[in-house]
Structure 1
Amino acid sequence: MTTRTKRPTLDRRALRLEQTNGTYLYVFSLTAPEILQLAGISRVSRDEAGELIGYQRPEVRNHVNEIVEYLDSDNVVFPNPIIIALPSTVRFVSSRGTKPNTTDEAACNGTLEIPLPVGNEPQPGWIVDGQQRTLALAKARRQDLPVLVTAFITDDVDVQRDQFMRINNTKPLPRGLVTELLPSITSPLPPRLAASQIPSALCDILNRDESSPFAGLIRRSSTNKTERSQAVITDTSIVKMVKDSLNSSGGCLYPYRNFTTGETDSLSVLRTVTIYWACVRETFPDAWGLPPEKSRLMHGAGIRAMGRLMDKIMSPLNLDDVLTSKVVMAELELVAPCCRWTAGSWDELGRSWDAVENTTRHINELSNYLIRVHTQAKMARR
């Protein structure tokens, strides 16, 4: 007969708070070594199939060092909690005789039993908020400082990502990290984030689809070092370009949104963007795929300005017409002679090609110029 060895646990006195029916938070304390023993940091990356894994931003070294310096000083007060997602194997045992009192019926004290990893097993939990603080605590001289921890229980990484996004919604998360995480969030989001969810998902498809003109060219938070030399366009530029068109009544993507139901014809949006930008690539082959410092077409200003020209060109066209691509090419040829993506000067703007910056003023000036040149050329052609 084989006797099973009981898995070791870390037992900690905790306060359990019921927030909604059957949903609990646990408040307790841990030291830095205990936090690292229980919870890992899930950095953003992609698996072999290209699926997004993880959700944390990379370590911010200067910020971590500042926290370490404070922790190594005298009279430390460290009230900021670390938020951890724990697995369903965690067990909470309420204290004997504990009864909810009349003033705080949602709270219950007891002991939280958290299974510890054995051998090479990964940590059972994930740090949802407090990555930099945890790294700093691990580097500080004092390793017995009790740190406030708030935990919730879930085995679903999508729930963890959702909480990460909400917790960091008012903090300066890198924009690229936000745009890459948004498509994987399935629960309702605040309006500001929800408005970027479809553009972010489209950005992901454009980068991963081999038939896309942007395939492999978009730099995301998960882009590894070997891919970064080719990934010359920031994902925020693509997201803003799509978002501009979806939200403006004059945008070519605007008709594909149903504001009554909140639904978007994503397939038509994708087809529109793909057709237009494939023609842009064919029209400006010498400027395509270069780093933005060598080509302003790949720069944020170029992407946004050409996106507004997309609204002008694509709005009247039928996506199902076999001649659509030829029409787009002919429309782009009207502005091509005036474009200065890699050399020369935008004479009417009074700027050299590399002096166009990713600012609202420069984007507006470049957009207006391209649309004006296109309109005048069409009128002259008639």
Structure 2
Amino acid sequence: MTTKSKEIVVRALHTTQGGGVDVYAFFIGGGDVTRLADISRIERDPKDALKGFQRPEIRSHVKGIVDYLNQGNVLFPNAIILAMSPDVRFVAARGSKPTGDLGISQAGTLTIPIFEEGARIAWVVDGQQRSLALAQAKNSAIPVPVIGFVSDSIETQREQFILVNKAKPLPTRLINELLPETSGILLPRELNARRIPSELCNLLNRSPSSPFYRLIKRMTDRPSSEAVITDTAVITMIRNSLNNPLGALATYKARPNEAADVEAMYKVLSNFWSAVRDVFPDAWGRDPRQSRLMHSAGIEAMGVLMDRIYAKLSGVGEDYKTIRSELERIAPHCAWTEGHWESLGVGWNEIQNTPRDIKKLQDALVRTYATQVKR
């Protein structure tokens, strides 16, 4: 390997995957990883667009790796995975192929330009903590295996990040926020199933016309955010409605010859939750410690009531005014911010985010609604 001030030149093996995507395998000095690759941490720009895909640095984890590397002659075979710009240059080696070569890969020389931080030619898809530790280790020359695929598409990079980390303890909320930003072509079925709830959660949080506008906590929130509802609660509420054959959103799911109608789903959610906000104005937008309507239990339970109300209306009169009228039936019997749930025999703030309490609250709301409808 030859290291220059403006480029790194290495011996590499080249192959293609995924319909012509160039993939390279090579070794570089551990300290060179952060010279050629940026670590793109997940955040949103001033226009609220999602940038990056990496988890925040975990200092204790990095320190542990540094301590290990500084022990001396250590084994470090774990590969760093990079997404690289098409600006890298590969020149195949000349000469005849070895006898028995299957032709899966081709040897050659890979030249990787070195740019300033923030504008580097590669991004770390897997190995963020390892890369930071290698840069801090005493022995910066330890040979580190690298797998690099060539793509300047942030969407492809996010897909690979999700897939690589799927088997690791990657935060569910981080996956949820990334999923709407990918095309899903390479994602497993179970992740594709999570895309629409995550996309709807994003729409509800970003649209100024949404009752949830900026109220949903995302991993990219700034410290000054006024969000009070966890995205997990909203996504669970949406997923439950989609999975219920009689759910308010199930009608708009994808069919064999028809794509899912996300716009119609958003309209249903916006109408219902706008009515919820206006029927319970004193409970809306407050900290869950002050309002159980904003609590995960309240969001999930009201989602079940949403399905029941829409099932009763069955496609007729599903406008905001009608939904609000239906919700007003149960309003006097709810204790979101004070008092007691008479049907449950518990105080308003005794409802907790447990499966048992959520189920009890769901049943109480549905029973109360059914009783009021009969009357």
Distance (Å, rounded) in 2 between the aligned partners of 1:126 and 1:378: 58
Distance (Å, rounded) in 2 between the aligned partners of 1:339 and 1:355: 13
Give TM-score, length-normalised by structure 2.
Answer: 0.92
Say whether residues 1:305 and 2:328 are aligned partners. no
Say whether residues 1:151 and 2:144 are aligned partners. no
Q: How far apart are residue 70 of structure 1 and its match?
A: 2.4
In structure 2, what is the equivalent of residue 3 of structure 1?
none
Residues 302 and 362, structure 2, Cα contact 8 Å, conserved in 1:
yes
- SS at structure 2 position matched to 1:147: strand
Give matches, 1:342-353, under 5 Å. Answer: 342-353=337-348
In structure 1, what is the equivalent of residue 110 of structure 2?
112
Q: How far apart are residue 103 of structure 1 and its match?
A: 4.0
Q: 269-278 or 38-47: which moved more?
A: 38-47
In structure 2, what is the equivalent of residue 256 of structure 1?
252
Say whether residues 1:376 and 2:355 are aligned partners. no
Residues 82 and 148, structure 2, Cα contact 8 Å, conserved in 1:
yes
In structure 2, what is the equivalent of residue 200 of structure 1?
198
Distance (Å, rounded) in 2 between the aligned partners of 1:342 and 1:249: 32
Distance (Å, rounded) in 2 between the aligned partners of 1:41 and 1:148: 17
Tell me the number of residue pairs that the alignment of Structure 1 and Structure 2 aligns: 371
Q: Which runs of 5+ in 2 are unaligned?
A: none
Residues 46 and 52, structure 1, Cα contact 8 Å, conserved in 2:
yes
Say whether residues 1:283 and 2:279 are aligned partners. yes
Q: Are residues 21 and 254 of structure 1, via their aligned partners in 2, closer, same or farther at CA, if it must alter by over 3 Å?
A: closer
Q: 347-356 or 156-165: which moved more?
A: 347-356
Amino acid at match of 1:15: L
Amino acid at match of 2:340: S
Give matches, 1:240-255, under 5 Å. Answer: 240-255=236-251
Distance (Å, rounded) in 2 between the aligned partners of 1:315 and 1:89: 56
Say whether residues 1:163 and 2:160 are aligned partners. yes
Distance (Å, rounded) in 2 between the aligned partners of 1:76 and 1:51: 42
Residues 276 and 314, structure 1, Cα contact 8 Å, conserved in 2:
no
Distance (Å, rounded) in 1 between the aligned partners of 2:18 and 2:121: 24
Q: Are residues 101 and 238 of structure 1, via their aligned partners in 2, closer, same or farther at CA, if it must alter by over 3 Å?
A: farther
In structure 2, what is the equivalent of residue 139 of structure 1?
136
Amino acid at match of 2:113: P
Superposition RMSD on alpha carbons, in Å?
Answer: 2.2
Distance (Å, rounded) in 1 between the aligned partners of 2:358 and 2:261: 28
Q: Are residues 356 and 133 of structure 1, via their aligned partners in 2, closer, same or farther at CA, if it must alter by over 3 Å?
A: farther
Match of 1:178 among 175, 184, 205: 175
Distance (Å, rounded) in 1 between the aligned partners of 2:224 and 2:327: 33
Residues 98 and 109, structure 1, Cα contact 8 Å, conserved in 2:
no
Q: 71-80 or 33-42: which moved more?
A: 71-80
Give TM-score, length-normalised by structure 1.
Answer: 0.90
Q: Among all aligned residue pairs of Structure 1 and Structure 2, give the percentage whose two residues are the same amino acid.
A: 43
Say whether residues 1:124 and 2:121 are aligned partners. yes
Residues 32 and 135, structure 2, Cα contact 8 Å, conserved in 1:
no
Q: How far apart are residue 263 of structure 1 and its match?
A: 1.5
- SS at structure 2 position matched to 1:225: coil
Q: 200-209 or 129-138: which moved more?
A: 129-138
- SS at structure 2 position matched to 1:263: coil
Q: Are residues 338 and 138 of structure 1, via their aligned partners in 2, closer, same or farther at CA, if it must alter by over 3 Å?
A: farther
Distance (Å, rounded) in 2 between the aligned partners of 1:73 and 1:363: 51
Match of 1:87 among 63, 85, 88: 85
